[in-house]
Structure 1
Amino acid sequence: MNPNIKAVKQLTYDAIVIGSGISGGWAAKELCEKGLKTLVLERGRNVEHITDYVTTLKTPWEFKYHGLNTSKDLEEDPVQSNVYNEGNKHFFVRDREHPYIQEKPFYWIRGYHVGGRSLTWGRQCYRLSDLDFEANQKDGYGVDWPIRYRDIAPWYDYAEQFAGISGQNEGLSQLPDGQFLPAMEMNSLEKHFRARVKKYFDGRCVTIGRVANLTKGWNGRTPCQYRNLCSRGCPYGGYFSSNAATLPAAMATGNMTLRPFSIVSEILYDKDKKRATGVRVIDAETNEVTEFYARIIFLNASAIGSAFVLLNSKSDAFPEGLGNSSSMVGRNLMDHHFKVGAMADYHGMEDEYYIGRRPVGIYVPRFRNLGDTASQRDYLRGFGFQGYGEREGWEYTGLTEDGFGKAFKEKLTRPGKWSFWLGGWGETLPYETNVVTLDLLQKDKWGLPLAKVNFSIRENEQAMRKDMQQSAMEMLEKSGFSNISGFDYKYVGGECVHEMGTARMGHNPRTSVLNGYNQMHDVLNVFITDGSCMTSSACQNPSLTYMALTARACDYAVGQLKKGEL
Structure 2
Amino acid sequence: MNLNIDAVKDMTYDAIVIGSGVSGGWAAKELTEKGLRVLMLERGRPLEHVTGYTEALKAPWEMPENVRLGDLAPKYSQTPLGSALTVPTYWMPGQETSYRQDKPFRWLRPSIVGGKSIMWGRQSYRFSDIDFEANAKEGIGVDWPIRYKDIAPWYSYVEKIAGISGEKLGLPQLPDSEFLPPMDMYLVEKEVRKRIEKNFPGRIMTIGRTANLSEAQKVHVETGRTACQYRNQCIRGCPYGGYFSTQSCTLPPAVKTGRLTLRPHSVVTEIMYDSKKQRASGVRIKDAETLENREYFAKLIFVCASAMASTALLMNSVSDRFPNGMGNDSGQLGHNLMDHHFRIGATGQWEGGQDRYYYGRRANGIYIPRYRNIGADKRDYLRGFGYQGGGGRQGWQHHVAELSFGPSLKEELTKPGLWNMGLTGFGEQLPEFKNRMYLDKSKPDKWGMPMLAFDAEIGENEKKMRVDMINDAQEMLEKAGLINVKPYDQGSVLGQAVHEMGTARMGRDPKTSVLNGNNQIHAVKNVFVTDGACMTSSACVNPSLTYMALSARAADFAVRELKALRM
TM-score (norm: length of structure 1): 0.96
Give the equivalent residue in structure 1 for 2:100: 101
Q: Does structure 1 conserve the Cα–Cα contact (< 8 Å) formed by 2:155 and 2:177?
A: yes
Q: Does structure 2 conserve the Cα–Cα contact (< 8 Å) formed by 1:269 and 1:276?
A: yes
- Report the alpha carbon displacement of residue 398 of structure 1 after superposing the two structures with TM: 4.2
Q: Does structure 2 conserve the Cα–Cα contact (< 8 Å) formed by 1:69 and 1:81?
A: no
Q: In the aligned structure 2, how far is the partner of 1:402 from the partner of 1:290?
A: 68
Q: Say which SS state the counterpart of residue 520 (structure 2) adopts.
A: coil
- Report the alpha carbon displacement of residue 88 of structure 1 after superposing the two structures with TM: 2.2
Mapping for residues 266-415 of structure 1, pairs under 5 Å: 266-370=270-374, 372-373=375-376, 375-398=377-400, 403-404=405-406, 408-415=409-416
Deviation track 1:366-388 (CA, whole Å, cap 9, x = no partner) reads: 00111x33x11000000000110
Deviation track 1:90-113 (CA, whole Å, cap 9, x = no partner) reads: 211111122111111100011021
Q: In the aligned structure 2, how far is the partner of 1:439 from the partner of 1:324?
A: 17
- Report the alpha carbon displacement of residue 351 of structure 1 after superposing the two structures with TM: 0.6
Give the equivalent residue in structure 2 for 1:42: 42
Q: Say which SS state the counterpart of residue 442 (structure 2) adopts.
A: strand
Q: In the aligned structure 1, how far is the partner of 2:62 from the partner of 2:401?
A: 19
Q: Say which SS state the counterpart of residue 86 (structure 1) adopts.
A: helix
Q: Which amino acid aligns with 1:116?
A: G
- Report the alpha carbon displacement of residue 465 of structure 1 after superposing the two structures with TM: 0.5
Q: In the aligned structure 1, how far is the partner of 2:371 from the partner of 2:22?
A: 29
Deviates more, 1:245-254 or 1:276-285: 245-254
Q: In the aligned structure 2, how far is the partner of 1:9 from the partner of 1:33?
A: 24
Deviation track 1:243-263 (CA, whole Å, cap 9, x = no partner) reads: 111011111110100000000
Q: Does structure 1 conserve the Cα–Cα contact (< 8 Å) formed by 2:97 and 2:109?
A: no
Q: In the aligned structure 1, how far is the partner of 2:334 from the partner of 2:82?
A: 25
- Report the alpha carbon displacement of residue 82 of structure 1 after superposing the two structures with TM: 4.0
Give the equivalent residue in structure 2 for 1:3: none
- Report the alpha carbon displacement of residue 523 of structure 1 after superposing the two structures with TM: 0.3
Give the equivalent residue in structure 2 for 1:154: 153
Q: Does structure 2 conserve the Cα–Cα contact (< 8 Å) formed by 1:367 and 1:382?
A: yes
Deviation track 1:147-187 (CA, whole Å, cap 9, x = no partner) reads: 00000001000010000000000010100011010000001
Structure 2 unpaired stretches of 5+: 1-6
Q: Which amino acid aligns with 2:45?
A: R
Q: Does structure 1 conserve the Cα–Cα contact (< 8 Å) formed by 2:56 and 2:239?
A: yes
Give the equivalent residue in structure 2 for 1:245: 249
Q: Does structure 1 conserve the Cα–Cα contact (< 8 Å) formed by 2:339 and 2:501?
A: yes
Q: Which amino acid aligns with 1:224?
A: C
Give the equivalent residue in structure 2 for 1:555: 556
- Report the alpha carbon displacement of residue 78 of structure 1 after superposing the two structures with TM: 2.3
Give the equivalent residue in structure 2 for 1:78: 77
Give the equivalent residue in structure 2 for 1:139: 138
Deviation track 1:448-496 (CA, whole Å, cap 9, x = no partner) reads: 1101111100110000001000000111111111111110001111000
Deviation track 1:319-363 (CA, whole Å, cap 9, x = no partner) reads: 000111111111111000000000111111101111111111110
Q: Which amino acid aligns with 2:51?
A: T
Mapping for residues 128-207 of structure 1, pairs under 5 Å: 128-207=127-206
Q: Say which SS state the counterpart of residue 314 (structure 2) adopts.
A: helix
Q: In the aligned structure 1, how far is the partner of 2:411 from the partner of 2:548?
A: 47
Q: Does structure 2 conserve the Cα–Cα contact (< 8 Å) formed by 1:73 and 1:81?
A: no
Q: Which amino acid aligns with 1:457?
A: I
Q: Which amino acid aligns with 1:235?
A: P
Q: In the aligned structure 2, how far is the partner of 1:36 from the partner of 1:503?
A: 26
CA-based RMSD: 1.5
Q: Which amino acid aligns with 1:84?
A: S
Give the equivalent residue in structure 2 for 1:480: 481
Aligned residues: 556
Q: Which amino acid aligns with 1:22?
A: V
- Report the alpha carbon displacement of residue 396 of structure 1 after superposing the two structures with TM: 3.1
Q: Does structure 1 conserve the Cα–Cα contact (< 8 Å) formed by 2:154 and 2:553?
A: yes
Judged with a 3 Å threshold, the aligned counterparts in structure 2 of structure 1 residues 83 and 329 are, in CA distance, closer, same or farther, namely: farther
Q: In the aligned structure 2, how far is the partner of 1:101 from the partner of 1:129?
A: 35
Q: Does structure 2 conserve the Cα–Cα contact (< 8 Å) formed by 1:226 and 1:358?
A: yes
Q: Which amino acid aligns with 2:297?
A: Y
Q: Which amino acid aligns with 2:171?
A: L
- Report the alpha carbon displacement of residue 414 of structure 1 after superposing the two structures with TM: 1.7
Give the equivalent residue in structure 1 for 2:10: 10
Q: In the aligned structure 2, how far is the partner of 1:11 from the partner of 1:233?
A: 32
Q: Does structure 2 conserve the Cα–Cα contact (< 8 Å) formed by 1:32 and 1:256?
A: yes
Give the equivalent residue in structure 2 for 1:23: 23
Q: Does structure 1 conserve the Cα–Cα contact (< 8 Å) formed by 2:65 and 2:86?
A: no
- Report the alpha carbon displacement of residue 8 of structure 1 after superposing the two structures with TM: 9.5
Q: Say which SS state the counterpart of residue 16 (structure 1) adopts.
A: strand
Judged with a 3 Å threshold, the aligned counterparts in structure 2 of structure 1 residues 398 and 188 are, in CA distance, closer, same or farther, namely: same
Give the equivalent residue in structure 1 for 2:3: none
Q: In the aligned structure 2, how far is the partner of 1:170 from the partner of 1:362?
A: 14
Q: Which amino acid aligns with 2:457?
A: S
Q: Say which SS state the counterpart of residue 57 (structure 2) adopts.
A: coil
Q: Does structure 2 conserve the Cα–Cα contact (< 8 Å) formed by 1:422 and 1:472?
A: yes
Give the equivalent residue in structure 2 for 1:534: 535
Q: Does structure 1 conserve the Cα–Cα contact (< 8 Å) formed by 2:347 and 2:485?
A: yes
Q: Which amino acid aligns with 1:486?
A: P
Mapping for residues 398-477 of structure 1, pairs under 5 Å: 398=400, 403-404=405-406, 408-477=409-478
Q: Say which SS state the counterpart of residue 377 (structure 1) adopts.
A: coil
Q: Which amino acid aligns with 2:484?
A: N
- Report the alpha carbon displacement of residue 403 of structure 1 after superposing the two structures with TM: 3.4
Structure 1 unpaired stretches of 5+: 1-6
Q: In the aligned structure 1, how far is the partner of 2:437 from the partner of 2:193?
A: 41
Q: In the aligned structure 2, how far is the partner of 1:123 from the partner of 1:397?
A: 33
Q: Does structure 2 conserve the Cα–Cα contact (< 8 Å) formed by 1:504 and 1:512?
A: yes
- Report the alpha carbon displacement of residue 15 of structure 1 after superposing the two structures with TM: 0.2
Q: Which amino acid aligns with 2:492?
A: Y
Find runs of 4+ consecutive structure 1 residues off by over 6 angstroms.
none
Deviation track 1:387-436 (CA, whole Å, cap 9, x = no partner) reads: 1011000133247565356x654432321111111010000000111111
Q: Which amino acid aligns with 2:143?
A: D
Q: Which amino acid aligns with 1:55?
A: E
Give the equivalent residue in structure 1 for 2:4: none
- Report the alpha carbon displacement of residue 71 of structure 1 after superposing the two structures with TM: 2.0
Q: In the aligned structure 1, how far is the partner of 2:264 from the partner of 2:202?
A: 49
- Report the alpha carbon displacement of residue 76 of structure 1 after superposing the two structures with TM: 2.6
- Report the alpha carbon displacement of residue 136 of structure 1 after superposing the two structures with TM: 0.3
TM-score (norm: length of structure 2): 0.96
Q: Does structure 2 conserve the Cα–Cα contact (< 8 Å) formed by 1:69 and 1:85?
A: no
Judged with a 3 Å threshold, the aligned counterparts in structure 2 of structure 1 residues 135 and 10 are, in CA distance, closer, same or farther, namely: same
Q: Which amino acid aligns with 2:456?
A: F
- Report the alpha carbon displacement of residue 81 of structure 1 after superposing the two structures with TM: 4.4
Q: Does structure 1 conserve the Cα–Cα contact (< 8 Å) formed by 2:203 and 2:369?
A: yes
Deviates more, 1:441-450 or 1:292-301: 441-450
- Report the alpha carbon displacement of residue 85 of structure 1 after superposing the two structures with TM: 3.5
Deviation track 1:101-155 (CA, whole Å, cap 9, x = no partner) reads: 1111100011021000000100000000000000000111110000000000010
Q: Does structure 2 conserve the Cα–Cα contact (< 8 Å) formed by 1:531 and 1:546?
A: yes
